[in-house]
Chain A
Amino acid sequence: MDLHFGDSKPSDEERAAVDALLGPPESSWEGADRSDADLRWARGGREARARRDLLLPGLHAVNDRIGWISEGALTYLCRRLTVPPAEAYGVATFYAMFSVKPRPATVLHVCTDLACMVAGAPELCEGVESRLGPGSGVSVERGPCLGLCERAPAALAVRAGDPVRTAVAAPATVERAVLAAGAPGSAAGEPPAARALPQAGDPSLVLLGRVGVVDPADLDDYRAHGGYTALRRAFALGPAGVVREVTDSGLVGRGGAAFPTGRKWQATASRPETPHYLVCNADESEPGTFKDRVVMEGDPYALVEAMTVAGYAIGAHRGYLYLRGEYPRALRRMEHAIGQARARGLLGDDVLGQGYAFDIEIRRGAGAYICGEETALFNSIEGYRGEPRSKPPFPVERGLFGGPTAENNVETLVNVLPVLTMGAQAYAAIGTPGSTGPKLYCVSGSVARPGVYELPFGAALGELLELAGVREGLRAVLLGGAAGGFVRPDELDVPLTFEGTREAGTTLGSGVVMAFDGTVPLPRLLLRIAAFFRDESCGQCVPCRVGTVRQEEALHRIAERTGAAAADDVALLRGVGRAMRDASICGLGQTAWNAVESAIDRLGAYE
């Protein structure tokens, strides 16, 4: 590979940002000044290419320091990592949090997604934009869900610099958002994670029991509250024993696909190729989801322990935690927890003195919903565009860096702790025979007490809404997020289990429950959902890339129409929706029409 880098030069600041991540360059091949030795020495090939997975961290480093990524900075980064500049440009332009055009050092991300829309996001945006006009040094960017839906409306300020500063305003008023953008370093702190738990203090909580009880920064406190008993049990059982327990527990993935976790681990563990990888998907970007954030902010060591157990079970020595770019506090807490665990021998070459080596690397996402798709996530970590790969081959055969990989989301992994501490039988006794264990729900929208709820599988939707204090005049409930579907107020007896929701013709998805009263017209919600998919499509396949655009256009046309006047466009939506579901490469395109379809069929949206 004879790469051509062009001659744009980085500024000193940009160079410093990259060097802080990668260390100083060793030769002129990497962008240092040319020395005599360089004339007789070439660097490249396999060794150099192997660093491509530092592309995303490198882009973050520049974006964090400067606020955007210039030609010179990108070129320098490419030189350091031996990445073709055209490909790096393709990667940089893939993520919403990066800009390749100059922009102010401070960016205020204002959420315009469903829960925030209901809570006044449009007024908030207008207010903020008129206060922070052009000369303010702040770029206001309207965007999808920030995962703060229990405190909607929400805004996140990011000020580039060394160090980068962030501030969250939620619930945001114009005042508070402007303040956060004006001085992210000194803005008021966020409330503790436990404030997102309306059930805090309930002794029956299995997954959330420690949130708000332990100090998230204190490893000893975690141990004093039962931490690391699951890992000890795992070592006592051996890898095969752990896989057996997890299989017997009936645990299935909580991300939406509901695949049996034990089977996935077994399939990964038994592959002859090495190395094996563990990937924790902490990129929850489904609009309306924030449970993984609350777990990571409130009980970070639990995730560290659970990842170690999983890594041990599948024979991996490296785990990647792919964390949403919009979660600065969760990032800080996880970084701290991983550092502490490493310092205390709970990660590293010899975990707990058991001769097992395992470590965790954090990778920050950069604003791309599609990277929650497991194979897109691998591409993202590897330094490619976050485009899903086609399956087969499945990740358990060929996943991250081509190795056998088990990918689980945060909620799935933390369930492994009670499986091991209480035993598979006791765990399986929770919930229903088809859906075992406890389940987390993210409740937001028109309810009195939005937040993360934990209930054993099998509770009815109505019971959950009762707990959350559903308001008068309920019009619809969106179950499973933008990729899920709407149910009617007279369907609240659907049991919250995988089989129960399936029977009722809907889906539990990732556990999103968004309640809407009649104050926001349904067509507006649907337009927002359609805009979301159009915006988040990776663009790889035609049904999704163009289909999501045509869907949004049709919904615009019928926003004000019903009955016969809407019939043509409804038929068009059905035709396009069916092809998106059938012919798209990945789940994003396949589900992009779910919510709209359910609104038409179950709620009679355009009748």
Chain B
Amino acid sequence: MTAIPLGTPRRLLEFTLDGEPVRAPEGSTVLDACRSAGKDVPTLCQGDTLTPKNACRVCVVEVEGARTLVAACSREAEEGMRVRTDTERARHSRRIVLELLASSVDLSTTPRVAEWIEEYGAEPDRFGPDAARVDEEPRIDNTLYVRDYGKCILCYKCVDACGGQWQNSFAISVSGRGFDARIAVEHDAPLTDSACVYCGNCIEVCPTGALSFRSEFDMREAGTWDESAQTATTTVCAYCGVGCNLTLHVQDNEIVKVTSPHDNPVTHGNLCIKGRFGYQHVQNRD
């Protein structure tokens, strides 16, 4: 996770990946090993700055001797393990998972998902026009960001980023159960009545666009959001002495959102409200 590798070198484990012998440092996941071997295993709930909840199950692989498939993002590699990433069985589950997700939520702003749907031959429409969907109206209850749970795949990333893994604000959690489970603040109140501190770290990790900057949301509504016309410039936040890195996304000479490099050893992609949202004064031209 840190850009500069620190600590003692780890022991190397040997195991086989799709029949090929591979070596991976102790403690790395099957997914790490796959990626360093150049294999493209799809992932949705895995995030580079978080311990994955392994909830989406799109990264499943076959491990010899295991009764069920195994989530590559969370399973630690073991000496002598035999892993197959591309069996019919694993591909079948990935295809179904993609179908289940695409038939229940709006994945139009989820990067790479269209590509995987194509690759795995998923047909979300086969569940019919009456298939239950998470039909939620976007929640626009503050000026900084929008929660559109009709796009949420319940990856738990925002919960972990807001809670014990980064921000320690614990403003959001999963409520309800089963298909009715939703991300919510206490008492399912508006964000403005919650413990949210508007650091936007949840937006940073959301893989689907269910959480987005108000600016991005409004521009998408207006049809003016155009990622190809945007530039991204990384600079240093000038508000306080921490010195976080900010990446300013600029379209038509206006800052449209602010992110932070995930490989920065200080912030790991996290910011505070000022760095994340306090950019309006830059472009206040009145």
Q: Knowing A542-B56, A549-B132 touch, does A390 contact B178 (C-beta < 8 A)?
A: no
Name the residue on B nearest A370 (C-beta): B177
Name the residue on B nearest A569 (C-beta): B128
* B33 nearest CB across to chain A (Å): 17
Within 67-115 of A, Cβ neighbours of B (below 8 Å) are at: 71, 74-75, 84-90, 93-94, 100
Picked from A87, A549, A578, the residue with its CB within 8 Å of the CB of B170 is A87
Q: Knowing A85-B195, A540-B53, A553-B127 touch, does A547 contact B100 (C-beta < 8 A)?
A: yes
Picked from A89, A542, A557, A583, the residue with its CB within 8 Å of the CB of B69 is A583
Picked from A2, A6, A385, A585, the residue with its CB within 8 Å of the CB of B55 is A585
Residues of B within 8 A of A148 (CB): none
Q: Knowing A536-B178, A541-B56, A546-B103 touch, does A581 contact B68 (C-beta < 8 A)?
A: yes
| Complex-state Cα separation, A546 to B55, whole angstroms | 12
Residues of A within 8 A of B104 (CB): 546, 549
Interface hub of B92, B130, B195 (most chain A Cβ within 10 A): B195
User: Is A553 touching B96 in the complex (CB atoms < 8 A)?
Assistant: no
Name the residue on A nearest B164 (C-beta): A1
A572 at the interface (CB under 8 A from B): yes
Within 78-108 of B, Cβ neighbours of A (below 8 Å) are at: 89, 92-93, 96-97, 100-101, 103-104
User: Is A545 touching B154 in the complex (CB atoms < 8 A)?
Assistant: yes
Residues of B within 8 A of A538 (CB): 177-178, 181
Q: Knowing A534-B179, A550-B127, A583-B60 touch, does A540 contact B55 (C-beta < 8 A)?
A: yes
* B13 nearest CB across to chain A (Å): 15
A266 at the interface (CB under 8 A from B): no
Interface hub of A535, A550, A578 (most chain B Cβ within 10 A): A550
User: Is A553 touching B130 in the complex (CB atoms < 8 A)?
Assistant: yes
A201 at the interface (CB under 8 A from B): no
Per-residue 0/1 for B126-159: is the Cβ within 8 Å of any A Cβ (1 yes, 0 no)? 1110111000000000000000000001101000
A537 at the interface (CB under 8 A from B): yes
User: Is A583 touching B57 in the complex (CB atoms < 8 A)?
Assistant: yes
User: Is A575 touching B96 in the complex (CB atoms < 8 A)?
Assistant: yes
* B42 nearest CB across to chain A (Å): 12
Chain A contact residues: over half helix, strand or loop, or mixed? helix
Residues of A within 8 A of B57 (CB): 541-543, 583-585
Q: Knowing A4-B194, A90-B184, A543-B100 touch, does A583 contact B93 (C-beta < 8 A)?
A: yes
Residues of B within 8 A of A572 (CB): 126-127
| Complex-state Cα separation, A392 to B193, whole angstroms | 39
Per-residue 0/1 for B169-203: is the Cβ within 8 Å of any A Cβ (1 yes, 0 no)? 11111111111110011111100011100000000
Residues of A within 8 A of B131 (CB): 549-550, 553
User: Is B187 touching A579 in the complex (CB atoms < 8 A)?
Assistant: no
Interface size on A, residues (CB 8 A): 52
Picked from B55, B68, B177, the residue with its CB within 8 Å of the CB of A94 is B177
Within 337-376 of A, Cβ neighbours of B (below 8 Å) are at: 368
Residues of A within 8 A of B132 (CB): 549, 553
User: Is B179 touching A590 in the complex (CB atoms < 8 A)?
Assistant: no
A334 at the interface (CB under 8 A from B): no
B16 at the interface (CB under 8 A from A): no
User: Is A86 touching B55 in the complex (CB atoms < 8 A)?
Assistant: no
Residues of B within 8 A of A536 (CB): 178
Residues of B within 8 A of A548 (CB): 178-179
Within 100-120 of B, Cβ neighbours of A (below 8 Å) are at: 100-101, 103-104
Name the residue on B nearest A587 (C-beta): B68
Residues of A within 8 A of B130 (CB): 553
User: Is B194 touching A89 in the complex (CB atoms < 8 A)?
Assistant: no
Picked from B68, B92, B101, B175, the residue with its CB within 8 Å of the CB of A89 is B175
User: Is A86 touching B179 in the complex (CB atoms < 8 A)?
Assistant: no
| Complex-state Cα separation, A74 to B154, whole angstroms | 24
Residues of A within 8 A of B60 (CB): 582-583
User: Is B175 touching A93 in the complex (CB atoms < 8 A)?
Assistant: yes
Residues of B within 8 A of A590 (CB): 68
Interface hub of A6, A90, A368, A537 (most chain B Cβ within 10 A): A90
* B129 nearest CB across to chain A (Å): 11
Name the residue on A nearest B132 (C-beta): A549
A452 at the interface (CB under 8 A from B): no
B267 at the interface (CB under 8 A from A): no
Name the residue on B nearest A88 (C-beta): B186
- 22 sampled A-B residue pairs with Cβ under 8 A: A1-B168, A1-B170, A6-B194, A84-B195, A86-B173, A89-B173, A93-B175, A368-B177, A390-B54, A390-B74, A538-B177, A539-B174, A539-B179, A540-B154, A542-B97, A546-B179, A547-B96, A548-B179, A553-B130, A579-B96, A583-B97, A585-B54
Q: Which residues of B are at the interface with A, using a C-beta cutoff of 8 A?
A: 53-58, 60, 68-69, 71, 74, 76, 89, 92-93, 96-97, 100-101, 103-104, 126-128, 130-132, 153-154, 156, 163, 168-181, 184-189, 193-195
Task: Given A546-B100, A583-B60, output 16 extra A-B contacts at Cβ < 8 Å.
Answer: A538-B178, A539-B154, A540-B53, A542-B57, A543-B97, A543-B100, A545-B181, A550-B103, A553-B128, A553-B130, A575-B96, A579-B93, A582-B68, A583-B57, A583-B68, A584-B68
